């Protein structure tokens, strides 16, 4: 079976794109744990639906059902976002019967801001500027 050079098909090989090569190299490079922790928090806060959940939890505890009403997402999606927020240490959860109740951990934001300043070296810069 003859293959046309511009038409990929069975047996045809495609070269990886430069972006794919850069991405692969970046994933192999050793990434310090402190920078990974910063990335985790920033990725968690980069989602608008998670921010909407946090906004609701700033008003007080809420069940998954209440969060579903607030953000308009399905139960599995809300639960998925809750897992991400809990992994970042921004919320805690507890079971009450069949419901999961989530609570904001307000001190987590202050702790993270201090940690980020320390990791990025901003504390040292501010001290030398004073």
Q: pLDDT per residue over 82-120, tens digit each?
A: 999 999 999 999 999 999 999 999 999 999 999 999 999
Give the total number of structural domains in the chain: 1
Q: What is the CATH number of the domain that holds 67?
A: 1.10.10.10
Residue pLDDT, tens place only, 102-112: 999 999 999 99
- For the chain, the maximum distance between any two Cα atoms, rounded to a whole number of angstroms, is 75
Spatial CA neighbour of 50 closest among 90, 85, 95, 25: 85
Residue 11 lies in a domain: no
Residue 125 lies in a domain: yes
**Percent over 70 (pLDDT), the chain:** 81
Model's pTM, two decimal places? 0.70
Residue pLDDT, tens place only, 16-43: 888 888 777 766 666 778 888 888 899 9
Cα separation, 52 vs 47, whole angstroms: 9
Task: Check residue 118 and give its pLDDT.
Answer: 93
Residue 12 lies in a domain: no
Residue 7 lies in a domain: no
- What is the total residue count of the chain? 130
Residue 111 structure tokens: 């702790």
Instruction: Give me the domain span that covers residue 104.
Output: 32-129
């Amino acid at each position: 079976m003859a293959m046309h050079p511009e038409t990929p098909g069975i047996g045809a090989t495609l070269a990886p794109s430069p972006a794919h090569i850069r991405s692969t190299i970046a994933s192999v490079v050793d990434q310090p744990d402190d920078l990974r922790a910063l990335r985790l928090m920033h990725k968690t806060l980069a989602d608008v639906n998670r921010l909407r959940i946090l906004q609701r939890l700033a008003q007080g505890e809420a069940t998954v059902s209440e969060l579903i009403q607030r953000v308009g997402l399905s139960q599995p999606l809300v639960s998925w976002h809750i897992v991400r927020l809990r992994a970042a240490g921004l919320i805690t959860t507890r079971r009450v019967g069949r419901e999961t109740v989530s609570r904001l951990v307000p001190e987590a934001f202050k702790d993270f801001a201090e940690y980020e300043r320390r990791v990025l070296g901003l504390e040292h810069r501010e001290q030398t500027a004073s």
